[in-house]
């Protein structure tokens, strides 16, 4: 019961990510694509956590933790490149 409901929730989150991908494909500027990428990464974190509950393998929570940190550094680097023209 619960696992089937959570599978449908995962499918809904994937549909939301596809809508964000449509904006990233259509978006006129680079920053629209950055905004869409931000939404997709948070959706990926949610999907990882739901699957860690469904599988009873809670090591994936650490994977989500590292994923959030890596995405934060990556987005900071993209924005610094767009503002100043160089990263380091």
Partner 1 sequence: MTIMQYIALFFIFGGLFFLFVGVLGLIRLPDLYTRMHAMGKCDTLGTGMMLIGIMIFIGDITNATKLLMIGAMVATINPVITHLIAKTAYNRGTPMAEGSFVINDYVASQRRRRSQQLETLTEKEGGKNE
Does residue 13 belong to the site contacting partner 1 (CB under 8 A)?
A: yes
Residues 6+ apart with CB under 8 A from 54: 3, 6, 7
Q: Residue 12 CB, nearest distance to partner 1 (Å)?
A: 5
Q: Which lies closer to partner 1 via its Cβ, residue 1 or residue 88? A: 1
59 to 78: interface string for partner 1, x by CB under 8 A: --xx-xx--xx--x--xx--
Q: Residue 70 CB, nearest distance to partner 1 (Å)?
A: 11
Q: Residue 77 CB, nearest distance to partner 1 (Å)?
A: 11
Burial class (CB in 10 A: 0-12, 13-18, 19+), 83: exposed
d(CA 10, CA 79): 30
The answer to whether the beta carbons of residues 30 and 82 sit under 8 Å apart is yes
d(CA 21, CA 19): 5
23 to 62: interface string for partner 1, x by CB under 8 A: x-----x-xx-xxx-xx--xx-xx--xx--x----x--xx
């Amino acid at each position: 019961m619960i696992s089937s409901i959570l599978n449908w929730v995962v499918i809904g989150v994937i549909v939301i990510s596809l809508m964000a991908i449509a904006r990233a494909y259509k978006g006129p500027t680079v920053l629209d694509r950055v905004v869409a990428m931000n939404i997709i990464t948070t959706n990926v974190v949610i999907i990882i956590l739901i699957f860690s509950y469904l599988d009873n393998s809670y090591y994936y929570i650490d994977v989500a933790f590292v994923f959030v940190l890596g995405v934060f550094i990556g987005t900071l680097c993209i924005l610094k490149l767009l503002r100043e023209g160089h990263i380091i």
